[in-house]
Amino acid sequence: MKIILVNNKGKTRQFTLAGWTRALLSLCFLGLPLGAGIYIGHESNKIAADGVMTDTASQAWEEALVDQQQDIEAIKQESVATLSAMTLRLAELQGRLVRIDALGERLTSMANLDNGEFDFNQSPAVGGPETDALGESHTPPKFINIINELAEQINDREQQLETLESLMADRSLQDDVFVAGRPVLKGWMSSRYGRRTDPFTGKVAWHSGVDFAGKQGSEIVAVASGVVIESGERNGYGGMIKINHGNGFQTRYAHNKKNFAKVGDVVKKGQVIALMGSTGRSTGPHVHFEVYKYGRPVDPAAYINRTHR
């Protein structure tokens, strides 16, 4: 193989290549285009791949933003619903507090309690020495503070009502067992307690009770709540009922035409326990009323007009 080189002056030089030299040079001329093609193809594929990756990442970011927007909208709607529910709850607590205050004032008035003992118009008095705060200091939302204050006020009112209820129940019980009043709804006192002339013998005798005269069959009532410990006929008394009121007090109702209350019955103050009659040692329809204190008879007149302080 011969190679001819021509310079710029027109002179030529000629070279003769051997077999192995000729083969090496042929490979060089053939490899240059092939390598260039491979390189160009590789770069083209790389650029295309970079373009695909860029499009995929952009699409992923867009989808993530859409998801976040949906989450934010859901949280917003949930917050609005929660705030509406808390507003309704706040109104409910305020209405409940108003009703409790009105009830407390009414009960306080009915119970005739001292002014200021149960004041439902004032906030509860609180206090105590200053101490270190527990936990981290933070400022809760304003409506949370309002709800907490209402809850505390309601708890305070409920405690006051419980105390007031207990006090009124105790007073009611004391009123029920308090011996006071007349044993008849209609009638007049025909004989007093103490020394008197016996209507049968004409001699001075001791009268251990008071007599209330009235119409046959008039109603006889208990002057206090208690338990019936005797009911039936008794010598001289005729039809009689005896009631134990506790605190050392007992009462007797005698000369009854008919007894309604039986032994063991729990009777209430003002309950009809018998009908007026003239049984036993009696000159006419009336009820013989006795009051015993710690086993001894006392003047019933002191309890007829008695008031519970």
In the block, tokens 């709800």 appear at 147
In the block, tokens 């009631």 appear at 243
pLDDT of residue 103: 65
CA–CA gap between residue 180 and residue 301 (Å, rounded): 9
Question: pLDDT higher for 174 or 280?
Answer: 280
Residues ≥6 apart with Cβ < 8 Å to 297? 208, 209, 290, 291
pLDDT tens for each residue of 109-155: 655 655 555 555 555 554 556 555 555 445 555 667 777 777 777 77
* Residues 4-21: b if buried by 16+ CB within 10 A, e if exposed: eeeeeeeeeeeeeeeeee
CA–CA gap between residue 58 and residue 81 (Å, rounded): 35
Question: pLDDT higher for 107 or 270?
Answer: 270
* Residues 259-280: b if buried by 16+ CB within 10 A, e if exposed: bbbeeebebebeeebbbbbbbb
pLDDT of residue 14: 59
Residue 262 pLDDT > 90: yes
pLDDT of residue 84: 76
pLDDT tens for each residue of 182-211: 999 988 999 999 999 988 888 999 999 999
**Which CATH number applies to 188-304?**
2.70.70.10
The band of 301, judged by pLDDT with boundaries at 50, 70 and 90, is very high
If you compute the radius of gyration of the chain from its CA atoms, what whole number of angstroms results? 55
Question: pLDDT higher for 137 or 102?
Answer: 102
Q: Which two tokens stand for residue 65?
A: 């933003």
Residue 278 pLDDT > 90: yes
pLDDT of residue 288: 96
> Domain locations in the chain?
2-68, 188-304
- Give which of 227, 220, 299 is closest to 255, Cα–Cα: 220
Q: What residue type is 284 in one-letter code?
A: G
pLDDT of residue 156: 74
pTM for the model: 0.51
In the block, tokens 């791949």 appear at 49
Question: pLDDT higher for 256 or 21?
Answer: 256
pLDDT of residue 78: 79
CB 106 within 8 A of CB 163: no
The band of 285, judged by pLDDT with boundaries at 50, 70 and 90, is very high
**If you count them, how many residues does the chain have?**
309
Residue 31 pLDDT > 60: no
Q: What residue type is 286 in one-letter code?
A: H
Task: Let me know the angle formed at the C-alpha of 122 by 120 and 126, rounded to the nearest 5 degrees.
Answer: 115
